[in-house]
Structure 1
């Protein structure tokens, strides 16, 4: 089964870590991270040909960029696009292009990198109103993971950590908090030192990918101390939910008369809020479901970035 899927993985499937019970059957750390990045790249490559694009571009103020929204149903075992069917995952994707500048309505490459790659979960709590708690459960050493090359991309600065993330909604009496256990793997690449080649104008100068993989803690698969910490850290009435996501941010070469470079931001996610919220509500734009939420995230991030810039 793939790593990048909605069905949560157990802690027993993770590479060795001091917080986990020693197990010779655990995957090797670099191979595990490499498999996740390989899957993320494969998934990103399928977006243009397998997702259905909404005809209407969406606004997400204060971002000046319009947001393209895409959707598909996926068979998680094959990554093939399928019709709506039992077991199929509903994926939502958004894409936007932003001028690389620290001006009103947009952000520079450094601001995107500092906001979306560094301290990913903690920053998300700062700019997303519903995220009320982020607790890091585990982190692997960047030096232990090392550099990874897959599908012709040389990744460096590979980070891997597990966070317990809680969202709180209003009215609280009607909607219980949702807690997610998320394994986050993030890595960067840099083509600025690469030899010039024939398609250099369409090749990103640099970029980073962040994959988030859902986990589930059970008393039988998680060390007792870690499982008790997770249970004790979630609010009363909280429901454990799950999501998987892939995020890709790239800096494109300068083009046009003004020689401006663009930042392309792609994010795709599948989720299940659990509880009694019907799936059709979670998928519905009008009802405030995932498609509306992922578009709103663009404006939330840009607004937060501009506030940080002016403070």
Structure 2
């Protein structure tokens, strides 16, 4: 695969405005080209961080930030970083008529390979797939103590969609808007709410190695939608993360877990401080997930199933379903930890500026949530 990957306008931190989302009644003719355009951007981009085929030039795009380890994970975690310059982003914005605040977009990546086994320090393929492809939101609620509310605001029917992209057939599509609210340092720092368009799909069975991907894109003005719930709450700041997650079976039988994300916790925190903090914590969700699922496995004595009501990590798990929680709330009692894309962004708000004052957060509440939200990113396209 060539390392000369053209960056696109969709899988960006500036996100997609509500008016660029598919219509509420969209059918396969509208949804298929939309999801295909997202995959066309996301798959080649994340592949440069961990190429499926030899591509020496790809690694030049990413800077190693070291390898991390933790007792809860038998596998070590590599951390990488790539900065998309203002010049590159401005070129994308100009080409596609996007009106957005242009700031350098720093991506933090974590990469790990795990034994396919339902035992301490790792997880089985079924556990990975159930937790992240089928039950992504509930999983995050279940083992992220600082997630205090989650809401599946909108879902589209993707039945029958099949897409060819990156030399692979993809099906089992899911397309939803998820809202999540995190506490990040009460009472000093305001809660953050993350509205994202989340696409997931899997490699078609029988066409190659098992693989699935999840792409999350901010919807900065989702509060204007009649589908919004948590995004309309006035006592939280809208924050943003874009991410691409790829989980696949390797030829040696191990499970590769790759995630890349760029974010903005909003408020008064400078992005360069946030980016530094994010690179330092993005790896933590690997041992935290594996530690959590080991405990759930011990409770049930069987394959873990995420609770239907997705309680916080300090609550007992219940029998799972495949429907995301609707405006579920809880009051976690454990210390705040990072275990997901949005949780990592939220934690940067506290780690990057632990001495923020009430006056500072009050000031941000009076300001526009972001320039992207104010302008609606009017020129965003689906192509």
Higher relative helix content? 2
Q: 1:141 to 1:277 in 2, by over 3 A?
A: same
Q: Is the aligned partner of 1:141 residue 2:157?
A: yes
Confirm whether residue 10 of structure 1 aligns to residue 26 of structure 2. no
Instruction: Look up the match of 2:247.
Output: 249
Measure how far apart 1:77 and its partner are.
5.9
1:96–1:266 contact (8 Å) kept in structure 2: yes
Tell whether 2:291 aligns with 1:275: no
Which of 182-191 and 98-107 deviates more? 182-191
1:80-139: per-residue Cα shift (whole Å, max 9, x none)?
xxxxxx622011001001111111100111111111111212211212222221101100
Structure 1 unaligned spans of 5+: 80-85, 195-203, 255-260
For 1:1-311, what aligned pairs fall within 5 Å after superposition?
2-18=9-25, 28-47=30-49, 48-49=58-59, 50-54=61-65, 56-74=66-84, 75-76=88-89, 87-143=103-159, 146-170=161-185, 172-190=186-204, 193-194=206-207, 205-217=209-221, 222-223=224-225, 225-227=226-228, 229-232=229-232, 234=233, 237-254=235-252, 261-284=253-276, 289-311=277-299
The two structures have a TM-score, normalised by structure 1, of: 0.80
- Report the alpha carbon displacement of residue 230 of structure 1 after superposing the two structures with TM: 4.5
Aligned pair count reads 269
> What is the CA RMSD across the aligned residues, in angstroms?
2.1
Change (3 A) 1:71 1:6: same
Q: Please name the residue that 1:201 is paired with.
A: none
Contact 1:190 1:205 in 2 (8 A): no
- What CA distance in whole angstroms lies between the structure 1 residues aligned with 2:90 and 2:155? 28
1:271-305 deviation digits (Å, cap 9, x = unpaired): 00000123233122xxxx21233111111111121
Cα drift, residue 218 of structure 1: 6.2
For residue 41 of structure 2, give the secondary structure of its aligned residue in structure 1. Answer: helix
Which structure: greater strand fraction? 1
- Quote the Cα distance in structure 2 between the aligned partners of 1:110 and 1:77: 42
Helix, strand or coil: the match of 2:48? Answer: helix
- Per-residue deviation, residues 62-88 of structure 1 (Å, max 9, x unmatched): 011111000011134668xxxxxx622
In structure 2, relative to structure 1, the CA distance for the partners of 1:231 and 1:209 (3 Å cut) is: closer
The TM-score normalised by the length of structure 2 is: 0.66
Alpha-carbon distance change, 211 to 218 in structure 1, aligned in 2, over 3 angstroms: closer
State the Cα distance separating 1:266 from its structure 2 match: 0.5
How far does the alpha carbon of each residue in 1:193-219 deviate from its partner, in whole angstroms, 9 at most, with x for none?
Answer: 34xxxxxxxxx7210010001102267
> Which SS does the other structure have where 2:73 is aligned?
coil
> CA 1:111–1:276 in structure 2 vs 1: closer, same or farther (change >3 Å)?
same
Counterpart CA distance in 1 for 2:9 and 2:249 is 29
The separation in 1 between residues aligned to 2:77 and 2:287, in whole angstroms, is 10
Q: What is the Cα deviation at residue 251 of structure 1? A: 0.7
SS in 1 for 2:120: coil
